[in-house]
Structure formats: C-alpha cells, structure tokens
A and B are shown apart, each in its own frame.
Chain A
C-alpha cells in the first residue's frame, strides 16, 4: 500500500501512461505540416479532412496497437466552459503580446511585418496545447515541445526569407516534421516496450 494516496499525482500518472504511444504528437505534427503545405499550395480540403478525422484516425490506430497492449482508459471530460475561457484568455494574451511587439518594431498596418512575425505567433499559440498537456501529465517532454516551438518561432521570425510566407511555411513544416518523427520514434519504442500479451486478458465476468 502506498504511503500516501496523492490523487492529482495518480491522475497525472494515468494520463502520462495513456499517452505514451506518441500518437498525439504524430497527429499534431501531421496537421502542422499539412497546414504549412496549405500556405504553399491551398490543399484546403485535405487539411480540413485531416482535422475533422484526426481523432477518429488516432482512435482507430490505438484500437489496433495501443489498447491491446496497455488497455483502455477514459478520462472525465473537462468543463467546456472552463476550457473555452482558458483558450480565449490565452489567445487574447497572445494577440496582445504580438500587437505590442509589432507596435514596438514598426507599423502595425504593415502586412509584411505580420507575415514576418507569423512564425512567432504560431509558436506562441502552440505553447497553449503543449502547456496544457504538460500540466495534465506532468511530463517534461511537453514543456520541451512548448519551449522548442517558441524558440523556433522566434528564430524563423528573425531570419529574412525574402518573399511571402516562406518563413511561416518552413516553420510549420519543421516543427510539424519534428513532432511526426518524435511521435514515430516514441511509437516504435512503445511497441517494443509492450509486446502483445500472448493470451488475451479476460476480466473473469460472464
């Protein structure tokens, strides 16, 4: 019996355990890469389809590979009102910060200035979901993704790319590619760590 029963810590541990297949990273990376491609060549339908079906795709892969290995856990849904308020406040803070930065660095009505700073804007937006995942799981790797997305966003905003959205496209493809590759590595490690049980676990019920 454990010395203490720390329920918030148990909840984090369970969440961490359920996300150890890396599929969320993989799908998020794929969405970001596709979004980058959308700026290059508007394959709008594919992007929308990927977003709409991302949950179903992840779920179907998990049914085949994850659940038979580690089992299924469903979490209580967060209060949608709290979640929406959190998202709204976070996005508002991002807009205020970006607006302030642009005001300091030049004319806010200059379209090219917005385009130049778009990678940082996206980097800051990405901090939101990563920080949320980090606080929910207590996993350091999500903090790492959040820091990386910010640093790369800043870097791609400072580098001169010449015309159009090149900086933003490169940023999305690189950060997305990093997540896709990271997710794949985690997934392969997961498959090796948890081979399929030789016999199917039976719950003993009739």
Chain B
C-alpha cells in the first residue's frame, strides 16, 4: 500500500517543476503567440488574446520581470511604439513548459 502511494507521488512529481509563471492561462496565451512570431505590438496581442489593455500590461510586466519577454521601444513616424518579443530565455522556458506538460498529461 505504502509502495503504491510512493510510486504515485513519483509519477506526479514533474508537476512541481511546471513553470507557474507560464502556466497562468493569459500568460500562456501571450507566450504562445509570441513564440510563433519575431515580435508583436500591444494592440496585436490584445486582439489575439482578447485581454484588456490593463490585464495584458500586467501579465507582460510579469513576464518581462522574469526575463521571458523583452520590450523594444521604437519610433514610428515620430511616435513611440512598443514591440514585445520573447527573449531566448523565454523561448527556452516555453519549450520546457511544453515538454513538461506533455510528460505530465499523457
């Protein structure tokens, strides 16, 4: 009985390694969209994810603070324009998250 329980917890242990920052649904969407492109701006991400400006800003700030996301400021027609893109760390973290989730959920 004891052995079975230990085996069960062994199998579920990878769950503890899942990146909680990415696991949150809104951030997962942001990461997935940015993973397939080079970069995107705030409006584009808002439309794709369906998040409000406030929500998106809050989530992107968390991802940027973790070093997963880079905020690139540029000027377009003399107006400031912000592009968001995943850093190499962010790409690796997202890839690890995918592999981890595939191991956990079969």
**Residues in chain A within 8 A of chain B (CB atoms):** 1-2, 5, 7, 10-11, 14, 17, 63, 67, 70-77, 197, 201-205
Task: Assess the B53–A10 pair: CB atoms within 8 A.
Answer: no
* Residue of chain B at shortest CB distance from A201: B43
A72 CA to B40 CA, complexed, in Å: 6
- Collect the chain A residues with CB atoms within 8 Å of residue B54's CB: 204
The answer for the CA separation of A67 and B77 in the assembled complex, in Å, is: 12
21 A-B pairs whose Cβ atoms sit less than 8 Å apart in the complex:
A1-B28, A7-B36, A10-B33, A14-B33, A17-B48, A67-B43, A67-B76, A70-B47, A71-B41, A71-B45, A72-B41, A72-B44, A74-B37, A74-B40, A74-B83, A76-B37, A77-B38, A197-B43, A201-B42, A203-B53, A204-B54
A14 to B30, CA, bound (A): 13
- On whether the beta carbons of B37 and A202 are closer than 8 Å, the reply is no
B32, A5: Cβ atoms under 8 Å?
A: yes
Question: Which B11-65 residues have C-beta < 8 A from chain A?
Answer: 25, 28-29, 32-33, 35-48, 53-54, 56-58, 60-61
Find the B residue at minimum CB distance from A72: B41
Chain A interface, >50% SS class = loop
Given A10-B32, A204-B57; A71-B42 close (CB under 8 Å): yes
Count of A-B residue pairs with CB < 8 Å: 81
B-side contacts of A204, CB under 8 Å: 53-54, 56-58, 61
- Chain B contact residues: helix, strand, loop or mixed: helix
Whether A70 contacts B43 by the Cβ 8 Å rule is: yes
- Report yes or no: B36 in contact with A11, Cβ–Cβ below 8 A: yes
Asked if A14 contacts B48 (CB within 8 A), the reply is: yes
Nearest 6 A/B pairs, CB to CB: A71-B44, A204-B57, A71-B43, A11-B36, A1-B25, A203-B42
A73 — which chain B residues lie within 8 A by C-beta?
37, 39-41, 44
A4: shortest Cβ distance to chain B, in Å? 11
**B82 contacts partner chain A, Cβ-Cβ < 8 Å:** yes
B93 at the interface (CB under 8 A from A): no
CA distance A74 to B37 in the complex (A): 6
Note all chain A residues with C-beta closer than 8 A to B45: 71
By the criterion CB–CB under 8 Å, are B77 and A203 in contact? no
Whether the pair B82, A205 counts as a contact (CB closer than 8 A) is yes
From residue B40, how far is it (CB to closest CB) to chain A in Å?
A: 4
Smallest beta-carbon distance A63→chain B, Å: 7
Q: Which B residue's beta carbon lies closest to that of A17?
A: B48
Chain B residue with Cβ nearest A77: B38
Residues of A with C-beta under 8 A to B77:
63
